[in-house]
């Protein structure tokens, strides 16, 4: 089994799509580990690794591989299919709002 780490961004995206997770990072780690063991892995763009969830085939975890550490890092996730839980127009609006908000470096 590969060592799996989850970014804060991926955990937030998971919570947007799968409600009721008490510890989203632990849940994502578990789901990705099981999917990797079941060989639900495919190459993505720019060196990414796509891991398709076992419970929901439309849920895809986008990962990068840290080869020296032997770690798979979940950086985000997306939903395929005709009827995603979070419509693209909503996630696009969140992205626009984030760009418009000034960042504080305090």
Question: Hey, what domains does the chain have and what are their CATH numbers?
Answer: 3-100 (3.30.2310.20)
pLDDT higher at 85 or 48: 48
pLDDT of residue 16: 84
Averaged pLDDT of the chain: 81
Distance set, CA 99 to CA 66, 75, 78 (Å): 28, 19, 20
Q: Which carries the bigger pLDDT value, residue 49 or residue 104?
A: 49
- Please give the pLDDT value at position 19: 72
Which band of pLDDT confidence, cut at 50, 70 and 90, is reported for residue 21? confident
> pLDDT, tens digit, for every residue of 51-100?
999 999 889 999 999 988 989 999 999 887 555 455 444 444 444 555 56
Query: Treating both helix axes as pointing N-terminal to C-terminal, what angle do 24-37 and 8-17 enclose, rounded to 10 degrees?
Result: 90
């Amino acid at each position: 089994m590969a060592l799996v780490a989850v970014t804060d961004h991926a955990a937030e995206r998971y919570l947007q799509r799968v409600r009721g997770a008490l510890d989203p990072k632990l849940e994502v780690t578990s789901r990705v580990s099981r999917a990797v063991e079941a060989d639900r892995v495919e190459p993505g763009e720019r060196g990414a690794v796509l891991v398709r969830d076992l419970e929901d085939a439309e849920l895809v975890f986008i990962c990068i591989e840290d080869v020296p550490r032997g770690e798979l890092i979940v950086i985000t996730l997306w939903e395929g299919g005709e009827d995603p839980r979070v419509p693209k127009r909503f996630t696009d609006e969140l992205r626009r709002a984030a760009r418009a908000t000034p960042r504080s470096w305090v």
